[in-house]
């Protein structure tokens, strides 16, 4: 793993991308200002908002660097914020999320205790737009809380392969050394979904990562078009896994993970989503591509089922529901 030498105390630059999130910004900024350890700077990246974001920022007082750009997406906004940051540590916070007061202090302590760590994340809870609790702990939902607690903030073993299995790093929880980003690059602006995972894996390939097994973030969940979002997410995840394989296959194999099977599994997820969404004609070529990556009886079976006319498949599903006890 690569080591990074940075001065102490570390200065934290908070990068907040915002697109039409003016109504949430005061709470987000307040959560930064209430940290038990003050940050170095707050950078709000306005990604071409059409609401009153600029006026709201002006009302929040001094100590905020406000940068406006034409709408280019959250990754482009974060990247420009990273470029403008002068601190050694970059902290990400989405405009509608909220930090708990001890977040920065606890994470900087991890950097101090483990100088080779390049990124520190935390657990998150999820809330709705009104602040009602929806999920108490991401790590517990992912069955990772006990494991991360046992590490006691130490670097995660085989973290690259762990991340490929499941993305356990909430973006708004991340503190990362700017020197690491200078080494591996920033967010890929061509990826809409999974751009965060792709960056975390690039970092994990060269540096150590730690997770604080404590909720330090309230992530705000919004209602979205689930059908459209799911398809776009799955399509981008195929791109992400293929990209990771293109440069990281040897590292994954060293960790005992077959990169071809990883890509095949992601294709399976996409194919099964098409199949279960009554789109077997779209599912078939995806299942076949998955088979080319790694053979599976299950995938072969679903590829065969995808050739059955939709009317017949619908009848089989109805029959299965009738006979189900």
Instruction: Identify the band that residue 316 occupies on the pLDDT scale cut at 50, 70 and 90.
Output: low
185: left (phi over 0), alpha (psi -120 to 50) or beta: left
Alpha-carbon gap, residue 43 to 210, rounded angstroms = 25
Domain endpoint, select from 220, 247, 276: 220
Give kind and range of the element (H or E) at residue 119.
Answer: strand 117-127
Alpha-carbon gap, residue 135 to 208, rounded angstroms = 28
Bridge partners of 13? 41, 90
In this structure, is residue 7 part of a structural domain? no
Alpha-carbon gap, residue 163 to 176, rounded angstroms = 16
CATH number at residue 154: 3.90.550.10
In this structure, is residue 214 part of a structural domain? yes
In this structure, the answer to whether residues 152 and 29 fall within a common structural domain is yes
Let me know if 152 is exposed, middle or buried by CB neighbors in 10 A (0-12, 13-18, 19+): exposed
In this structure, the answer to whether residues 64 and 205 fall within a common structural domain is yes
In this structure, is residue 312 part of a structural domain? yes
Let me know if 57 is exposed, middle or buried by CB neighbors in 10 A (0-12, 13-18, 19+): buried
In this structure, the answer to whether residues 237 and 122 fall within a common structural domain is no
* Tokens of residue 258, six digits: 């077959």
Report helix, strand or coil for 242.
Answer: helix
CATH number at residue 268: 1.20.58
In this structure, is residue 5 part of a structural domain? no
In this structure, is residue 186 part of a structural domain? yes
In this structure, the answer to whether residues 184 and 255 fall within a common structural domain is no
In this structure, is residue 4 part of a structural domain? no
Query: Is 40's pLDDT higher than 80?
Result: yes
Alpha-carbon gap, residue 27 to 227, rounded angstroms = 30
Alpha-carbon gap, residue 154 to 130, rounded angstroms = 35
Bridge partners of 114? none
Structural domain containing residue 67: 12-220
Alpha-carbon gap, residue 244 to 181, rounded angstroms = 17
Query: Is 224's pLDDT higher than 90?
Result: no
Residue in 19, 4, 87, 27 with CA at minimum distance from that of residue 218:
27
In this structure, the answer to whether residues 173 and 264 fall within a common structural domain is no
Domain endpoint, select from 155, 187, 220: 220
Instruction: Identify the band that residue 5 occupies on the pLDDT scale cut at 50, 70 and 90.
Output: very low
Q: What is the pLDDT of residue 299?
A: 97
Please say whether the dihedral angle defined by the alpha carbons of residues 106, 109, 114 and 120, taken in this order, is positive or negative: positive
In this structure, the answer to whether residues 290 and 161 fall within a common structural domain is no
In this structure, the answer to whether residues 193 and 248 fall within a common structural domain is no
In this structure, the answer to whether residues 72 and 207 fall within a common structural domain is yes
Using DSSP bridges, classify how beta strands 89-92 and 12-18 pair: parallel, antiparallel or unpaired. Answer: parallel
Render pLDDT for 138-168 as a digit per residue (tens, 0 to 9): 999 999 999 999 999 999 999 999 999 999 9
Alpha-carbon gap, residue 240 to 193, rounded angstroms = 9
What one-character DSSP code corresponds to residue 115? T
In this structure, the answer to whether residues 77 and 146 fall within a common structural domain is yes
In this structure, the answer to whether residues 204 and 95 fall within a common structural domain is yes
pTM to 2 decimals? 0.91
In this structure, is residue 178 part of a structural domain? yes
What one-character DSSP code corresponds to residue 256? T
Say if CB 25 and CB 94 are below 8 A apart.
no
Provide the number of structural domains found in the chain. 2
Render pLDDT for 278-291 as a digit per residue (tens, 0 to 9): 899 999 999 999 99
In this structure, is residue 99 part of a structural domain? yes
In this structure, the answer to whether residues 62 and 88 fall within a common structural domain is yes
Instruction: Tell me the CB-side half-sphere exposure of residue 52, using CA atoms within 13 A.
Output: 7
In this structure, the answer to whether residues 198 and 259 fall within a common structural domain is no
The top-scoring range by mean pLDDT among 27-31, 227-231, 315-319 is 27-31
Domain endpoint, select from 169, 202, 220: 220
């Amino acid at each position: 793993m690569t080591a990074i030498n940075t001065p102490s105390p570390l200065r934290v630059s908070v990068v907040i991308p915002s697109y039409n999130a003016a109504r949430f910004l005061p709470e987000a900024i307040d959560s930064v200002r209430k940290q038990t350890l003050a940050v170095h700077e707050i950078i709000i990246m306005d990604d071409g908002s059409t609401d009153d974001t600029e006026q709201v920022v002006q009302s929040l007082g001094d100590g905020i660097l406000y940068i406006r750009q034409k709408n280019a997406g959250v990754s482009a906004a974060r990247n420009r914020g990273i470029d403008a940051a002068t601190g050694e540590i970059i902290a990400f916070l989405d405009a509608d999320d909220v930090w708990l007061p001890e977040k920065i202090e606890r994470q900087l302590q991890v950097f101090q205790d483990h100088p080779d760590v390049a990124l520190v994340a935390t657990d998150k809870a999820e809330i709705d737009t009104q602040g009602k609790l929806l999920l108490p702990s991401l790590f517990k939902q992912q069955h990772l809380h006990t494991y991360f607690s046992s590490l006691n903030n130490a670097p995660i073993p085989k973290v690259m392969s762990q991340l490929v299995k499941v993305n356990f790093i909430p973006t708004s929880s991340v503190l990362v050394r700017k020197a690491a980003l200078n080494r591996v690059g920033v967010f890929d602006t061509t990826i809409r979904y999974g751009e965060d995972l792709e960056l975390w894996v690039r970092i994990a390939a060269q540096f150590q990562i730690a997770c604080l097994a404590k909720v330090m973030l309230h992530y705000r969940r919004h209602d979205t078009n689930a059908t459209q979002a799911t398809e776009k997410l799955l399509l981008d995840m195929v791109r992400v896994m293929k990209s990771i394989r293109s440069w990281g296959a040897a590292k994954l194999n060293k960790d005992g993970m077959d990169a071809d099977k990883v890509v095949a599994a992601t294709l399976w997820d996409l194919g099964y989503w098409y199949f279960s969404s009554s789109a077997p004609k779209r599912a078939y070529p995806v299942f076949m591509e998955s088979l080319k990556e790694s053979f599976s009886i299950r995938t072969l079976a679903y590829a065969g089922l995808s050739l059955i006319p939709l009317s017949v498949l619908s009848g089989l599903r109805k029959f299965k529901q009738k006979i189900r006890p």
